[in-house]
Amino acid sequence: MISRKQNQQSTVSQNMADKQKRYEALVHTYHADLYRYAYWLVKDKHIAEDIVQEAFLRAWKSLDSLNDEKAAKSWLITILRRENARRFERKQLDVVDMDDVVLMDNDVSQEGKIENRELRRHIAALNEEYREPLILQVMFGFSGEEISEQLGLNKNTVMTRLFRARNQLKEAIENDSNMMGKANG
Amino acid sequence: MDDLEFRRQVYADPGSKDPALLEAATQDPAKQQFWDEMKSMNSDIENALDVPVPSELAHRLILRQSIESHNRDRSRNRMHIALAASVAFVIGLSFTLFNRQPTIYELSDVALRHMYHEADYALSVDDNVPLADVNAKLASFGGELKEPFSRVYFASYCLFDKQRSLHLVLGNGADKFTVFITPKEDNEIFTGHFEDENYFGRAWQTSKMNVVVLAEKAKPTEQSMDEVRGKMLFSI
């Protein structure tokens, strides 16, 4: 009786240790991409970190439901998006005025610094329904099918949105260089 | 593939491996050039998306989770403690009831036994306890040392026949003696003067407390022992 109980206890603590290990592996592998994803969803460093914190806490609580480690990325993104949606349920946030958005550009190497800053501004200015599939495709390497699954849209809609996202970015970049040209001329 | 369709597909996915797209690009250098431009823009986008991540984020994520699971464990442990406490309570209660049959004992015997048991330690230390500390300990017995003795070598709570009591070792000039303060019990026999081969003792009672003073027979300290009665006052 006693030995059986001890066995159970050691199994439980072994499970806890395994769970802890899995969790830490997930954190190390995905925290950076998830943070960036959150940042591009909300365009605020602090809110992004809050969302990532909440998302990982929820991931820990339901880690037992993740059976396939290969599905971890989509699983975490789903949790994160839900966490972001909850934020809107909690309080209706003011619409962010693009002029107020502080974009992070202090980290970028000297080369291409201005372009990066401009491009970030343009990406941030994209409508969220264009921006989100673009991030999933570029940052996470998701295919059209995977994005449509993640966002609950059909694939054609996703492809159209991706087309519009890049189309708008290209126009914005061309406008920039036209303006630079005029200023120089 | 017409130009518009080609552009639509390349805009939507510059990394596409679609054979029809590849075919169209090889046949038309303008298309190939457009595709290369889009690939280049895509890697710019990739760089732009790569915003800096707070350096301690991974650490904070793991820390927060540890605190969270610790808190959950703790509330689970609290349940166990509550359960253990009620079991202990029942055991304690039955012990108390069992022990209700009063065992009569001599206060002087207990004092002497305690003296022998603790003497090696209590008589050898010199903590030089400040008066305020002594009085803080005395307070829970309703006592107060109104005037100091020359030295307080030792002041500690102890168990005196299962009763929480106070054990003091006081010095008065060259004299050194032990004082026990212990709550009065119904089943004890009180004696004001007692002795054995090594020690002699004086004891008196307040409304709720016994005060026992013990000293070595070899060094008569009666006067100092009597002083305790004048200096240590009890409100209960």
Please return the burial class of B201, using the count of CB atoms within 10 Å of its CB with bins 0-12, 13-18 and 19+.
buried
> What are the 10-residue block averages of pLDDT along chain A, 185 residues in total?
55 74 90 96 93 94 88 94 85 51 49 73 94 96 95 96 96 85 61
> For position A1, what pLDDT does the model report?
45
Give residue-wise pLDDT tens across range B45-69: 999 999 999 878 888 888 778 777 7
Q: What pLDDT was estimated at residue A54?
A: 94
A166 contacts on B by Cβ (under 8 Å): 11-12, 14, 38, 41-42
Q: Which residue of B has its CA nearest to A109?
A: B47
Contact by Cβ (8 Å): B156, B202: no
Cα separation, B99 vs B117, in Å, equals 24
Report chain A residues whose CB lies below 8 A from the CB of B48.
116, 119-120, 123
Structure tokens at B176: 């050194």
Write out pLDDT tens, residues A33-75: 999 999 999 999 999 999 999 999 999 999 999 988 889 999 9
Q: Which amino acid is at A24?
A: E
- Give me the residue from A57, A119, A159 closest to B48, CB to CB: A119
- ipTM, two decimals, is 0.80
Cβ A32–B45 below 8 Å, yes or no?
no
Q: Is the pLDDT of residue B12 over 90?
A: yes
- pLDDT greater than 80 at residue B146: yes
Q: What would the mean pLDDT of B126-141 be, rounded to a whole number?
A: 82
Residue of B nearest to A156 (CA): B12
Q: Among B9, B49, B70, B77, which would you mutate to test the A interface (most chain A Cβ atoms within 10 Å of its Cβ)?
A: B49
